[in-house]
Amino acid sequence: MSRILGGAFAVIAAACLLQGPGAARAADAGGACCGDLDERIAELEATTARKGNRVVSLTITGQVDRALLFWDDGTQSDTYVVDNAINTSRLGVEGKAVIKPGLVAGYVMQLDVNDALSSIVSQRDPDGAAGPIPGGDEGFGESSLQIRINNFYIDSERFGRLAIGQNYSFNDAISVPFQVVATYNTDGGPYADGFGLRTAAGGFAGFSWGQLIGNGPRRNDYLRWDSPSFGGFGVTAMVGDNDISDVGAKYFTKTDRFALNTAIDYYNYDAEPLGSAGQLSNFQELKGLFSIKDLPSGLFLTAWAAQRDYQRTLNGVRLEDTGYSLQGFFGIEKRFLPLGNTTIYGGYGQYNNMASTGLSGSGATLTGVGTDGRADDFVADAEISRATFGVIQNIQSAGMDIYAIVEHYSADVSVGDLKDIGGATAKADLGDYFAVIVGSNIKF
């Protein structure tokens, strides 16, 4: 902007000199030429984003994503205005500076606007405010501005990128951005996590869908290294606060016929209880992704598989389990309308004991399991089924998506007695959960 304005002044000055003294006196007599220009320059400067360091670039990015979430848990139903947990409303600042050819220093800062986040709202909390989720356990979060990413990095063409600060884990990237086609969905339960399961009698079972499914963001403070890409292949290694570590590998390729994304990751977590993973504080997870698109037809397939070993202590008793999950989406992305690409997909997933063993099951059965009633009931076995269908319409000229997603969840849960580990269990009579989310996303 300063160079453009300087050039404008030079052109005006040159024109005045070329016109001669008479013209200059005429301009002085008018008295309005340069005064009006100065006023306009001041207006432009007042509306221009500035940066304090001229050698470091400044880019402001972000998006706004708002949606209507209709839900029905078999006992109660309602409609909320929410922020999509997969593509949250956010504001970001990015920049970089060239140290020398092949070596760059940069920064990334992003704030999440968690305004009634779809993975946090519940039957008793349409705003996603902090507080108990149905069943009495601690809530997952609150509506607020939260740090999404805040890190500094050095990027070398030869040695890769080294970053320090708040960042994605590789495990988190496998769930969403590594998909070959964006679906506004994931291998978890972004439109059900905060909602409590209902018993046949209409009460709360004592746990939420998110606690049973056990997925969620793995963002944290990390020292992260991403290797350069060699023929589409790359590796990532990172360590975080307390005893958090993550190592993964990916292979991305694209030909005239196919686009293919694959990844595998090992994630070790030993820190504060993670609400988005069933309040687990200690688990190890092996996770993989296979995502492929046939470019001529637009047909695509994305599948995830995971195994998780975890530990939980309930009333002084240590419980351990190994869980498994498998989720897949199949659909088509094609330009059926002149507006932009249309994506249509369906999917199905199962989550077996991914984070559920040892959760308090008080209220999950009508009679309890042991002689002491429901006081020491706990989840001994859980299988969650999830079916989903989605349609996304891109409006290319506006950088905008309009989407509609339908989801159905069912749970097969057995409850045991803490004083009789490995003994008799009782089947919990639980209701299903149904949700429809319709919204739009616009990027800037």
Kindly list the domain boundaries of the chain, sorted by start residue: 1-48, 56-443
pTM of the model: 0.83
326 and 297 in contact (C-beta within 8 Å)? no
Interatomic CA distance for residues 175 and 246, integer angstroms: 14
User: Residue 27 has what pLDDT?
Assistant: 40
Which tokens belong to 208? 């939420």
Interatomic CA distance for residues 259 and 294, integer angstroms: 7
- Residues recorded for the chain: 444
Number of neighbouring beta carbons within 10 Å of residue 373: 13
291 and 300 in contact (C-beta within 8 Å)? yes
61 and 108 in contact (C-beta within 8 Å)? no
User: Residue 39 has what pLDDT?
Assistant: 72
Angle formed at CA 36 by CA 35 and CA 40, multiple of 5 degrees: 120
List CB contacts of 363: < 8 A, sequence separation 6 or more: 135, 199, 203, 204, 205, 206, 374
User: Residue 50 has what pLDDT?
Assistant: 64
User: Residue 44 has what pLDDT?
Assistant: 61
Q: One digit per residue, pLDDT tens: the chain, 444 residues? A: 344 434 443 433 433 433 444 444 344 444 445 667 777 666 665 655 666 677 888 899 999 999 999 999 999 999 999 999 999 999 999 999 999 999 999 999 999 988 899 998 999 889 887 544 443 333 444 457 888 999 999 999 999 999 999 999 999 999 999 999 999 999 999 999 999 999 888 888 888 999 999 887 788 999 999 999 999 999 999 999 888 999 999 999 999 999 999 999 999 998 888 766 667 888 999 999 999 999 999 999 999 999 999 988 877 778 889 999 999 999 999 999 999 999 999 999 999 999 988 888 777 776 666 545 566 788 899 999 999 999 999 999 999 999 999 999 999 999 888 777 767 788 888 999 999 999 999 999
Interatomic CA distance for residues 65 and 259, integer angstroms: 27
Q: Is residue 126 helix, strand or coil? A: coil
Fold of 56-443: Porin (2.40.160)
Interatomic CA distance for residues 187 and 373, integer angstroms: 36
List CB contacts of 202: < 8 A, sequence separation 6 or more: 75
8-state DSSP, 397: G
User: Residue 18 has what pLDDT?
Assistant: 36
345 and 183 in contact (C-beta within 8 Å)? yes
Which tokens belong to 442? 């616009």
